[in-house]
Amino acid sequence: MTIAIIQFGGSNCDRDTRRALSFLGIDAELVWYKDGLPADASGVVLPGGFSYGDYLRAGAMAARAPIMDEIRERVRDGLPLLGICNGAQIGCEAGLAPGAFTTNATARFRCEHVFVRVETTDTPWTARYDEGDVIELPIAHAEGRFEITDAELEALESDDRILFRYCTESGEVTEAANPNGSKANVAGLLGEAAHVAVLMPHPERATLPDLGWTDGQDVLRGFA
């Protein structure tokens, strides 16, 4: 029962993620994408980084690697999956979640702490929070702006599939609190089922107490 953290050329948050999961008592191993998905994997993380240098589009090349066919098949059978930052971009490119993450509205790399509001608790990733809770997580991206059609956004909202929204420290969803111009301030969302989630902020960077923030621990405990 081990979480598979998939490494692509250019992944750079894979070891951070393994260390964070291990701190929480969750077994995890690094899996090079060419080696395929281990048969005994109990979950998958698509970690942050810059897979293939974000060539073409962020996540576009990694999403077309053969291992993603294996992941899609296992996810359909209920395997939990969490895509973080570049992993969120890969997840959307691979059709695991709707919409796309594209160039920030400012066209600048944003590396800072943000506040996000928990929008639903009916998921493994947010079950330990209360709806409306505000947590602080780091971001580090140049292509984090979430885009989706109005009709798809309406479907996400009606199906309760928006995981987090960027907000103020007091929980207000405002334009000023949106670091990248994401539509409807969406910071994370679900795939077709609650066991599949993608988000731009980094919960693994807010897990170890030595780093000063631990708000991301309960996101990763979705694998526990």
Which residue in the list 13, 85, 92, 167 is annotated as catalytic?
Answer: 85
Which residue in the list 93, 119, 143, 204 is annotated as catalytic?
Answer: 204
Percent of the chain with pLDDT over 70: 100
Please give the torsion angle defined by the CA atoms of residues 163, 165, 170 and 173, in that order, rounded to the nearest 10 degrees: -140
85 is catalytic: yes
pTM: 0.96
Identify the CA nearest to 179 among candidates 167, 162, 190. 167
SS3 state of residue 71: helix
pLDDT of residue 1: 66
Q: What is the C-alpha to C-alpha distance for residues 218 and 170, in angstroms, rounded to an integer? A: 20
Identify the CA nearest to 220 among candidates 28, 7, 57, 92. 28
pLDDT of residue 28: 98
For residue 55, pLDDT beyond 90: no
202 is catalytic: yes
Which residue in the list 92, 93, 195, 202 is annotated as catalytic?
Answer: 202
pLDDT of residue 54: 82
Instruction: Write the pLDDT tens digit of every residue in 115-157.
Output: 999 999 999 999 999 999 999 999 999 999 999 999 999 999 9
